[in-house]
Amino acid sequence: MLGTWMSIGSPVIAEIAAHSGFDWLLFDLEHGNEAEAALPAQLRAISATHCKAIVRVGAIYPDLIARVLDWGAHGIMAPRINTAAEAESLVQAAHYAPRGRRGYSRSARTYGYGLNPPATSADITPPIIMAQIETIEGVQNTAAITAVDGIDVLFIGPADLQFDLQARPHLADFDYPTALETVNQIASSAGKSTGILIRDQAQLQSHRDLGFTHIAIDSDLAILRKGYQQILHPPTS
C-alpha cells in the first residue's frame, strides 16, 4: 500500500501519479495549496485507475467528511486525533446509521450519480479511516484510539510529532523512535494497520520493518523542489 502526497492541488499531477502505479494518494486539505473547491477535479482525474483517494481534512467536520466521500473519496485522514472521543466522532462522520450519522444520497458521485446505488446497506463499501497520531497526547492515548471500531489505520505525522516533542518535552516520557514502536505494537495487537509519510524511497524498508503498511513517500511539491535544486545546484562529483 504505497502512496504519495498531493499538496499542489492539480488534477494533472493526480492523474500522472495514479497512472504511475501508486496504491493510494493523499489529497491534502490541511496543509495543501488549494481549497476544497479544487478536489472534485482531482478525484475525477484518477477514476480510470485502481488508485485509492484518501482526503485529509483540516478537522473533523462531519459535513465535509460526508461530502468528500459523496464525491468519491475512498477514505479520510484526520489530523491530530488525540482521544478516543475524537476518533469516535471521526468514524461517526464517515459512516451511515446505525454506526454513524452521515446523511445519505443515492445520487452522489460515489454511487455513479445514481447509476450504481447500493441495493442494501450491506453493499456499501465502508470508507478507509486513517487517524493521525501526531501529538504527545495522541501517542499516550493510542490504545484507546485504536480500540475505536472503524479506525483502520493509525497514521504517524512525523513533522508534528517531532515538533511537539521538542516544544513540550516535559509532557512526554518517550522519544520519537519509541513512539513509532509503541504505535506499531498497539496497532498490531489490535489487528489494525499503521502508516507514515516518509521523504525518500531509501527509508521504505526500514519503516516496513517497523510494521508500517500504509506508507506514503514524498509529495508532488517536494519532488519538484528537489528536482529544481538538482538542476540548478547539481552535486559536483
Binding site for Mg ion (CB under 5 A): 79, 103, 134, 157, 160
Minimal distance, residue 3 CB to Mg ion, in Å: 16
Half-sphere exposure of 169 (CA within 13 A, CB side): 2
Q: Which is nearer to its own copies, 188 or 196 (CB)?
A: 196
> Could you say which of Mg ion, its own copies, none residue 182 binds, taking C-beta under 5 to 8 angstroms by partner kind?
none
Nearer Cβ to its own copies, position 11 or 211?
A: 11
Pick from 42, 50, 43: which is nearest to 20 by CA? 50
Q: Is 1 a binder of its own copies (CB under 8 A)? A: no
Count CB-CB contacts under 10 A for residue 7.
21
Q: How far apart are the first and last CA of the chain?
A: 36
Asked if 203 interacts with its own copies (CB under 8 A), we say no
Residue from 174, 159, 175 nearest 80 by CA: 159
Which string of x and - marks every residue 32-61 that binds its own copies (by CB under 8 A)?
-xxxxxxxxx--xx-xx--------xxx-x
84 scored as a contact of its own copies (CB under 8 A): no
Q: Is 122 in the site for its own copies (CB under 8 A)?
A: no
- Please give the backbone phi and psi of residue 38, each rounded to the nearest 5 degrees, phi first: -85, 0
**CA separation for the pair 87, 109 (Å, rounded):** 26
Q: Which is nearer to Mg ion, 63 or 228 (CB)?
A: 63
Between CA 43 and CA 182, with CA 161 as vertex, the angle to 5 degrees is 100
Q: Using the minimum distance from each CB to its own copies, give the nearer residue, 144 or 204.
A: 204
* Contact partner, 39, from its own copies, Mg ion, none, Cβ < 5-8 Å per class: its own copies
Q: Is 98 in the site for its own copies (CB under 8 A)?
A: yes
- Exposed, middle or buried, 69 (CB in 10 Å: 0-12/13-18/19+)? buried
Q: Does 85 bind its own copies (CB under 8 A)?
A: no
Of the candidates 56, 36, 35, 46, the one whose C-alpha atom is nearest the C-alpha of residue 13 is 46
31 a catalytic residue: yes
**What number of chain residues touch its own copies (CB under 8 A)?**
86
Q: Does 104 bind its own copies (CB under 8 A)?
A: yes
Catalytic (active-site) positions: 31
